[in-house]
């Protein structure tokens, strides 16, 4: 069982051993394991929800905001989303062994660049218990062993999910140790996990800036940070206001506590007088607290007195709540400058009818995902057709944006000859 009490070092060593076998497994065994995991999650949904209910009962005794409690929560629809994600991953092409490039040298050597698993991937995550299944499925399909460390607030949910996945995968031929859960330790346990040099090949943290900072202090294993999302929507001059209205409402209110929700609305000065009164009114009706600069307040009409004054730190804050900063800019170039100065490089959107403005925004904004006339809420492995994600990276090396199966792989060069030696 995934919850057997063994040390972090032992758990990682077992994963490392299993990774050697996993890397060579045929697609059929990995797909059978995913089918078994999906069926087991489906069949044991009541057990999962009961564990989650116990976690939520304990969490409600703490001083947690509603958006955080939402991240902890599983219901039937979210369990079904986990099942659907595993099925999607199962049907995707196996990335292992994919030849991404190849050529023949003048001396007759054939060179192929072949995708291979990283080996052992560790995921440290806060809140969302669905990560347990999502990450396990991605790891299995990409031929990686996985070590999971969830948060204490959903310890019972994670334990049940990890046990279900482990039992199902073992029955389908996945080696012992390929899926492991470490729990109950605290920051010392996380530090031990992040320093398993030569055993763990990659660690991915999914959580807030506190988790990121804690790992930065101690990690000696390579890290891809699934970072925060201070995301923007910019409404250009001449934009379709109905479209812009619906995009902003969706990006802010559909699920405000996640990293791809919008935190700042920027509006072109020529659009502000006609667009902002209706937009801000709808946001207020939805329960959003609005923090506006002087130009936005001037364009807000009768709503101006109800708006809070935006302060400098608001532009740099990932609220993860029903709070939105609102500003007016003079041009698409000013919007790009604002985004690049204050954004986190996650997801940025422009609403415009101008091809020139769209291209200027696309090319100028430094972010993992840039949207034209669409909500930032789509930056997600499932929505991108990856089945699920390990996290969303705002880094530029190796992986950027949703971390799916291919991002859990590296490559090797396979060179075939007929006796060549180097002169």
Give the separation between CA 48 and CA 413, rounded to whole angstroms.
Answer: 43
pLDDT the model gives residue 67: 82
Locate 264 and state its tokens: 């700042």
Give the separation between CA 143 and CA 95, rounded to whole angstroms.
Answer: 9
Q: What is the DSSP letter of 173?
A: T
Query: pTM here?
Result: 0.86
pLDDT the model gives residue 185: 64
pLDDT the model gives residue 3: 42
Class assignment of domain 231-378? alpha beta
Architecture of domain 8-226+392-416: 3-Layer(aba) Sandwich (3.40)
Asked whether the beta carbons of 99 and 90 are under 8 A apart, the reply is: no
Helix H or strand E encompassing 132 = helix 130-141
pLDDT in tens, the chain (423 residues): 344 468 999 999 999 999 999 999 999 999 999 999 999 999 999 999 999 999 999 999 998 888 889 999 999 999 999 999 999 999 999 999 999 999 999 999 999 999 999 999 999 998 899 999 999 999 999 999 999 999 899 999 999 999 999 999 999 999 999 999 998 667 888 899 999 999 999 999 988 778 888 898 999 999 998 768 999 999 999 999 999 999 999 999 999 989 999 999 999 999 999 999 999 999 999 999 999 999 999 999 999 999 999 999 999 999 999 999 999 999 999 999 999 999 999 999 999 999 999 999 999 999 999 999 999 999 999 899 888 899 899 888 888 999 999 999 999 999 999 999 999
First to last CA, the chain: 55
Provide Rg for the chain, Cα atoms: 23
Where in the chain do CATH 3.40.605.10 domains reside?
8-226+392-416
Where in the chain do CATH 3.40.309.10 domains reside?
231-378
pLDDT the model gives residue 127: 87
pLDDT the model gives residue 287: 97
Backbone angles phi, psi at 177, to 5 degrees: 95, -5
Q: 3-class DSSP state for residue 286?
A: coil
């Amino acid at each position: 069982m995934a919850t057997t009490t063994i040390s972090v070092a032992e758990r990682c060593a077992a994963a490392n051993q299993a990774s050697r076998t996993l890397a060579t497994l045929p697609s059929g065994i990995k797909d059978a394991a995913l089918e078994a995991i999906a069926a087991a999650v489906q069949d044991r949904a009541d057990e999962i929800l009961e564990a989650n209910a116990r976690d939520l009962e304990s969490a409600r005794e703490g001083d947690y905001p509603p958006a955080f409690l939402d991240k902890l929560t599983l219901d039937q629809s979210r369990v079904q989303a986990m099942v659907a994600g595993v099925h999607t991953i199962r049907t995707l092409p196996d990335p292992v062994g994919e030849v991404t490039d190849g050529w023949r040298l003048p001396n007759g050597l054939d060179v192929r660049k072949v995708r291979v698993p990283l080996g052992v991937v560790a995921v440290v995550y806060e809140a969302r218990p669905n990560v347990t299944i999502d990450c396990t499925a991605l790891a299995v399909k990409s031929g990686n062993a996985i070590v999971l460390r969830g948060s204490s607030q959903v310890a019972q949910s994670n334990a049940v999910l990890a046990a279900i996945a482990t039992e199902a995968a073992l029955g389908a031929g996945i080696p012992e140790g390929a899926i492991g859960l470490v729990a109950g330790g605290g920051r010392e346990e996380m530090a031990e996990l992040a320093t398993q040099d030569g055993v763990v090949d990659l660690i991915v943290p999914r959580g807030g800036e506190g988790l990121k900072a804690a790992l930065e202090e101690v990690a000696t294993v390579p890290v891809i940070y699934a970072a925060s999302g201070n995301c923007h929507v910019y409404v250009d001059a001449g934009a379709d206001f109905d479209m812009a209205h619906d995009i902003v409402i969706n990006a802010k209110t559909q699920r405000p506590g996640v990293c791809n929700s919008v935190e700042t609305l920027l509006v072109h000065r020529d659009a502000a007088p006609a667009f902002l009164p209706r937009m801000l009114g709808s946001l207020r009706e939805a329960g959003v607290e609005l923090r506006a600069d002087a130009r936005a307040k001037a364009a807000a009409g009768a709503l101006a007195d109800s708006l809070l004054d935006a302060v400098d730190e608001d532009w740099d804050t990932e609220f993860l709540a029903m709070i939105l900063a609102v500003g007016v800019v003079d041009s698409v170039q000013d919007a790009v400058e604002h985004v690049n100065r204050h954004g986190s490089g996650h997801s940025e959107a422009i609403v415009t009818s101008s091809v020139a403005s769209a291209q200027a925004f696309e090319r100028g904004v430094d972010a993992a995902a840039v949207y034209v006339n669409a909500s930032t809420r789509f930056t997600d492995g499932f929505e991108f057709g990856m089945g699920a994600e390990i996290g969303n990276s705002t880094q530029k090396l190796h992986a950027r944006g949703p971390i799916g199966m291919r991002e859990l792989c590296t490559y090797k060069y396979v060179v075939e000859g007929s006796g060549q030696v180097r002169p």
